[in-house]
Amino acid sequence: MNNFSIEKLYEMARQLRRDVIKMLTISKSGHSGGPIGLAEIFSALYFKILNIDPKNPQWSDRDYFFLSAGHLAPVWYAALARAGYFPLDELKTLRKIHTRLQGHPAPAHTHGLPGIEVASGSLGQGLSIAVGCALGIRLDAKKSRVYVLLGDGELDEGQIWEAAMTAAHHKVSNLTAIVDRNDCQIDNYTHVVMHLEPLTDKWKAFGWNVIECNGHSIEEFLNAVEKSKQCVDKPSVIIAKTFMGNNVSFMHNDYKWHGVPPNEEQAKQALSELPPTSFGDFIKFDWENN
């Protein structure tokens, strides 16, 4: 998987978007805009960056990934399935009774999925978990790295900044945080709900190595991750500028798609804007055969 070309990574990102649309259309429930906007980042993480083994999810030398904003789970589930952690066909069970694909992610030992380390709790907790994991890895003298993805609306939570101080104080350089900077949260744009800027200066003031990139450019994101690996005296944060619902015209940059699934007509339009890929879909709707 780590040998994917840039072209293949973009194709996988398109497939992840198709998967999310189909999952949400079937479930009639779930979050659309954020997961669709993160397709390039998850493609890069799971098919280029992370040192993982889907056949051995608990491999002791693996890299660790935490999704702090757990409601973004649909794109994570799609990436995990495409990477081989569980069967693609299971994607159609999103949010169903007794499914392993719950509305918020959970690990295998709590009736969730392999490849997921912990259940997501209230927003703001993921960075603390990631800091603890990174410190544990350092104590064990392992070379594994820890990645955690945060929503920008989540940065309103005070616990984020407590964890940020802790990571900087302990110089946790094997940690890379990724901020999905799409300026959207559940009930408005982030600049309306709680002004975050100057965000770069905030993270720098808390002692972090700050890297900014276009989150829809896989090349820029890969370069940002490499820069984070080169920093050896402080934790790194990648502020990735994205657009909610990117590549789906009627969802683009619209916070109202935070927690709304598409209906069938909207799904038809979205899929028409996201051409099929060589990876193949996990399901074909009846209307796709016409």
- Token couple for 190: 């982030």
Q: Which of 189, 136, 130 is nearest to 160 (CA)?
A: 130
Tracing tokens 């709707």 back to the chain, one arrives at: 285
Q: What is the pLDDT of residue 290?
A: 55
Query: Is the CB of residue 12 less than 8 Å from the CB of residue 82?
Result: yes
Q: How far is CA 264 from CA 2, 28, 73, 246, 274, in A?
A: 35, 9, 21, 19, 15
Residue ranges of the domains in the chain? 6-289
- pTM given for the model: 0.97
- How far apart CA 42 and CA 12 sit, in angstroms, is 9
Q: How far is CA 41 from CA 28, 38, 151, 255, in A?
A: 25, 5, 13, 19
Q: Going residue by residue through the chain (290 aa), what tens digit of pLDDT does each one get?
A: 678 999 999 999 999 999 999 999 999 999 999 999 999 999 999 999 999 999 999 999 999 999 999 999 999 999 999 999 999 999 999 999 999 999 999 999 989 999 999 998 789 999 999 999 999 999 999 999 999 999 999 999 999 999 999 999 999 999 999 999 999 998 999 999 999 999 999 999 999 999 999 999 999 999 999 999 999 999 999 999 999 999 999 999 999 989 999 999 999 999 999 999 999 999 999 888 75
The model's pLDDT over 242-290, given as tens digits with 9 standing for 90+, comes to 999 999 999 999 999 899 999 999 999 999 999 999 999 999 998 887 5
Q: What is the pLDDT of residue 1?
A: 61
Class of domain 6-289: alpha beta
User: With left for phi above 0 and alpha for psi between -120 and 50, is residue 241 left, alpha or beta?
Assistant: beta
Beta strand 184-185 pairing with 188-189? antiparallel
Q: What is the pLDDT of residue 175?
A: 98
